[in-house]
Structure 1
Amino acid sequence: MTNDIKQQIINYLANETLREKCNMAEVKDVSFLAQGEYNRNFVVSDTRDQKFVFRLNYGSQINVVKQARYEFNALKILEPSGRTPKPLYLDDSKAYFDHDILIEQFLPGEPLVYHQDLSEAAKIFAAIHNLKLTTEEIQLLKQENNICSDRLNEAKRLLEPVHGSQQVTDDAKQILTGLYKWCVEHVDDGYFAKQSQCLVNTEVNSNNFLITDDFGYLIDWEKPVYSNSVQDLTQFMSPTTTLWRTEETLSDQQIDGFLTEYADLTGSSKKQLVDNISLYMPFLLLRALSWCGMLIATYDQKPIQNEEILHRCQKFLTFKFSKPVLEQYGVQI
């Protein structure tokens, strides 16, 4: 299957006009890079030894009709930050592939390592969150001003296949039901809505960063929205994120250092950042754990399957993992 797609990509990129738009020479090689639940990515190498990311889209996590176009627009907005890949070409006609196509700049680096890259992560977030968007740019993005209610609505949709699923354990259902109920009782949209907004990624696990010896990038922009920065900060430090691709969790000291640097770079109040994170974390965990429940319940139907992701989701939806994490924020399940 992958070899067939590689050949299709080579044939697609035989179009000289297309390559000129990307400043791409003749294609020398196409290799598989990575895949998620909704996309498959390849590296295209040309005869000038340049590299490009060729991205095939299989769906949308945020219910947008033109997912690749949404990503393309977000990446154009993000270009001035210098911390994201440049979008080079968009084709959502589905005239050649049955999927939307996005060609991006290939960036160097390795996945983020929490115990050594937190300072660089603070710089990346600050560069992105400090961007001042025009009204026209904001209108190209989904806006989330009621982030507590948004998480509840999102969880409600995600949990639809979970309730009657035989694949999801009774313990997992109890965790999800208990957390959902707690969040319903603690909604405080107004607190966050009156604060400043920015472009946030909402999917900041370690593999979505690329870190070099002296610089770093945030590369996966499937789910950007215009909202409160707490969405990125909370997800970044949540154990459901740090343990997604690594075996690390952040200590209180690491979190304090990260927030101190981020606050300095953005001119933010560190106290308000801490308060925001404390209030929003249960809602972030509701999203993360509900997504895990959805994936387990619908795994057999997924067009792209990843057993590592499945096993992580199953681990997170146990009392051993979830109970102590939630209790830190006053949630009893």
Structure 2
Amino acid sequence: MDSMERGLAEARAYLAGNAALRQAVGAAPGAVLEPRPLGMGEHNLNYAFADPADGRRFVLRVNVTRQPFHDNQVRYEFDALTALAPSGRVPAPLYLDDGPDAPGHGALVIGFCEGDELDFDRLRPGDLRCAAQLMADVHAVPVGPNCPLHRPTDPLRELFGECLARFDLYRASPAEDPRITRWVNALTAAAAAVADTPAAPGDCAHIVNTEPLPSHFLIPAAAAAEAARAGADDEGVGRGADVPTASAAAAPATRGGGGVSLAVGVAHPAGGAGARGRLCAAPGSFVDWERPVIGDVAQDVAFFTAPTTTFWDSDYLMGPDVAAAFVEDYWRAVDGRFSRGAFDARYRAFRMMAALRAVAWCCRALAQFGADPRLHRTDRAVAKVPAYLSDEFLEMLARDCFGL
């Protein structure tokens, strides 16, 4: 039995024997709750299941690898979803099991969210506007004084420190490569120059995801169509302003011979430069709250628009002009609910730090994968790490994110 089959069997047994879970989701004592694999991430195994009485769907998340800065992954995520519930844009937290008999390092059950994963290789008109609205709605949730989430003194400086720690692990391993290390040294020096970019009062007071990958945005087709119509009305043209041209939408980054050939997406103007207010009434859901912090919205926006993020789940690289258009859509969606503060300077620094973090993650993965082939990993990580550490990709980052 392989790990996937074993995980599914454990999930099936867990759902069958957990009376408290059944009560939490409102299922009858004798109902058969049959799990089906929903996706495997770096830290969690996900299974969808339904109540056979009425078809209501749920997600069982089993933690397999903890995130940093806390010891109880599932409780941390449950607390984050509880704090963000007023937004109406995150899965409902329904059940938490962090006891010794829980599978993995603990499990939680959340509501199932409808919608299609954002896919940069197949962007629909309106998709990026929905993502901007989702991010703005979540960031606008007031943070209570007793919110238990991690509150770094300075999220930007803490992120830089996290990168340095990962690079230290890489340098101490047999996997260190002088070619990669030369790039690491150059990028780290550039990032160090902006690591102390100051925040304005009130900037670091929002719940931010810190890892808003495109797969974390579930957007119904109807929502994307609504946002596209709004964009067309704003711009006075027949399509939404956030859709790259056909050539840019493909934006292939093909690997071969140990390298990567890069093509960066081209921007259209952001629709309705003078427009304000909602870009979409019901944009979908923002999921996967594994490691949020109370911090700076610039971190999420910069991570989402960084080419290191878009390339992870696709062959698309978001260029600076497309990123700038998304930023302005985001602030239209915020619609005055909080101040822009020092966003513009911090966004530039966080975009640099997002790229550095991706390189640091890949360097650490290179060291860990070589040290222990049994470690949990995804097929995507195995495929992408060599591409991210190629000269072609690192040269693109040095130019577009670090200004080198």
Q: TM-score, normalised by structure 2?
A: 0.76
Deviation at 1:331, TM superposition (A): 4.5
Deviations 1:115-148 (A, max 9, x none): 43110011101100111111012xx011123133
Seen in structure 2, the aligned counterparts of structure 1 residues 279 and 161 have a Cα distance that, compared at 3 Å, is closer
TM-superposed deviation, 1:82 = 0.9
Residue equivalent to 2:399: 327
Cα distance in 2, alignment partners of residues 129 and 136 from structure 1: 17
Q: Which residue of 2 is the match for residue 4 of structure 1?
A: 6
What is the CA-CA distance between 1:299 and the residue it aligns to? 1.8
Which whole-Å deviations, capped at 9, do the CAs of 1:201-257 have from their partners, x for residues lacking one?
A: 011111111111223211111110000101100000000001111122234443333
Per residue, is there more helix in 1 or in 2?
Answer: 1
In the alignment, is the contact (CA less than 8 A) between 1:192 and 1:228 conserved in 2?
A: no
**1:315 aligned to 2:387?**
yes
Amino acid at match of 1:59: T
Which of residues 150, 154, 165 is equivalent to 1:142? Answer: 150
1:209 aligns with 2:191: no
Structure 1 residue 23: Cα displacement:
1.8
Which amino acid is the alignment partner of residue 317 of structure 1?
Answer: L
- CA displacement, residues 104-124 of structure 1 (integer Å, 9 cap, x when unaligned): 111111111344311001110
Q: Which deviates more from structure 2 when the two are superposed, residues 30-39 or residues 121-130?
A: 30-39
| Residues 1:175 and 2:170 aligned together | no
| Equivalence for 2:378 | 306
Preserved CA contact (<8 Å) 1:282 1:331: no
Report if the CA contact (8 A) 2:198-2:342 is conserved: no
Quote the Cα distance in structure 2 between the aligned partners of 1:236 and 1:330. 16
Three-state SS of the structure 2 residue aligned to 1:13 is helix
Which aligned pairs between 1:193-272 and structure 2 lie closer than 5 A? 195-213=203-221, 214=223, 215-266=283-334, 267=336
C-alpha separation in 2, matches of 1:207 and 1:123: 16
Distance of aligned partners of 1:174 and 1:24 in 2 relative to their CA distance in 1, 3 Å threshold: farther
- Tell me the CA shift for residue 168 of structure 1: 4.5
Are the equivalent residues in 2 in contact too, given 1:147–1:189 (CA < 8 A)? Answer: no
Give the Cα separation in 2 of the matches to 1:323 and 1:264.
33
Structure 2 contact 159–353 (Cα < 8 Å) conserved: yes
Conserved 8 A contact 2:57-2:112: yes
Distance 1:163 1:249, change over 3 A: same
Distance 1:5 1:280, change over 3 A: closer
User: In 1, are the aligned partners of 2:200 and 2:341 still within 8 Å (CA)?
Assistant: no
Identity %: 26
Q: Given the superposition, is the C-alpha separation of residues 98 and 297 from structure 1 closer, same or farther in structure 2, using an over 3 Å criterion?
A: same
> Which secondary structure does the structure 1 equivalent of 2:382 belong to?
helix
CA deviation profile, 1:166-194 (whole Å, cap 9, x unmatched)? 43533222222222222233332533666
The residue identity in structure 2 corresponding to 1:121 is A
Alpha carbons 1:202, 1:223 under 8 Å: kept: yes
The answer to whether structure 1 residue 56 and structure 2 residue 128 are counterparts is: no
Structure of higher CA gyration radius:
2
- Output the CA distance in 2 between the equivalents of 1:5 and 1:195: 41
Alignment root-mean-square deviation, CA: 2.2
Structure 2 residue runs without a partner (length 5+): 224-282
Give the whole-Å Cα distance in 2 for the aligned partners of 1:4 and 1:279.
43
Q: Name the CA distance, whole Å, in 1 between partners of 2:358 and 2:6.
A: 34
Task: State which drifts further: 150-159 or 198-207.
Answer: 150-159
Q: 1:63 to 1:195 in 2, by over 3 A?
A: closer
Q: 1:297 to 1:192 in 2, by over 3 A?
A: farther
**Distance across 2 between alignment mates of 1:255 and 1:269:** 20
Cα 1:90–1:269 shift into 2, 3 Å: closer
1:151 counterpart residue number: 159
Which position in structure 2 is the counterpart of 1:118?
A: 128
SS at match of 1:191: coil
Name which of 92, 96, 106 aligns with 2:98: 92
1:19 aligns with 2:36: no
Verify the 8 A CA contact 1:167 1:297 in the aligned structure 2: yes
Give the SS at the match of 2:199.
Answer: helix
1:162 and 1:308 map into 2 onto residues whose CA distance is: 20
Stretch moving more, 100-109 or 151-160: 151-160
How far apart in 2 are the matches of 1:85 and 1:282?
Answer: 30
